[in-house]
């Protein structure tokens, strides 16, 4: 299957600092990438949908000024958690859907575990 690389796989940061997470589709182009958040023993919660070259669409309740998403190219989307606080500690996962095909499956990155201390 297609490969989606997410970096870093884990990060610890101090409260008040910002953290950037990268999501790259390695062997395909992705018009759309998705950012999810997952709490322990819970399912994936969609945070936002990122379209190349345009502003991200955020789900209700997700602060767009706190979770900045940039989709600069067809293979890269970034999520920046600004002014991180301990409650932002979570597992963040991106997914990307290949451009080829109309309704295709999504492939996930390996996730980033963020711990804010």
Residues that bind other proteins (CB under 8 A): 1, 4, 6, 32, 34, 41-44, 46, 49, 91, 93, 95, 97, 102-103, 105-111, 113
In terms of CB distance, is 1 or 86 closer to other proteins? Answer: 1
- Residues 9, 113: contact at Cβ < 8 Å? yes
Q: Minimum CB separation from other proteins for residue 53, in Å?
A: 17
In terms of CB distance, is 88 or 98 closer to other proteins? Answer: 98
Q: Minimum CB separation from other proteins for residue 115, in Å?
A: 12
Q: Which of 114, 116, 20, 8 has its CA nearest to residue 70? A: 20
Dihedral angle computed from the Cα positions of residues 53, 90, 1 and 104, in that order, rounded to the nearest 10 degrees: -50
């Amino acid at each position: 299957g297609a490969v989606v690389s997410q970096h870093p796989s884990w990060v610890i940061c101090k409260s008040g600092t910002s953290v950037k997470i990268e999501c790259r589709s390695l062997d395909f182009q992705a018009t759309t990438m998705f950012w999810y958040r997952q709490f322990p023993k819970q399912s994936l919660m969609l945070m936002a949908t990122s379209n190349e070259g345009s502003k991200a669409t955020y789900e209700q309740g997700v602060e767009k000024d706190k979770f900045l998403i940039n989709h600069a190219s067809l293979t890269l989307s970034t999520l920046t958690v600004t002014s991180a606080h301990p409650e932002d500690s979570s597992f963040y996962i991106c997914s990307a859907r290949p451009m080829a095909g109309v309704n295709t499956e999504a492939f996930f990155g390996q996730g980033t575990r963020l711990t804010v201390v």
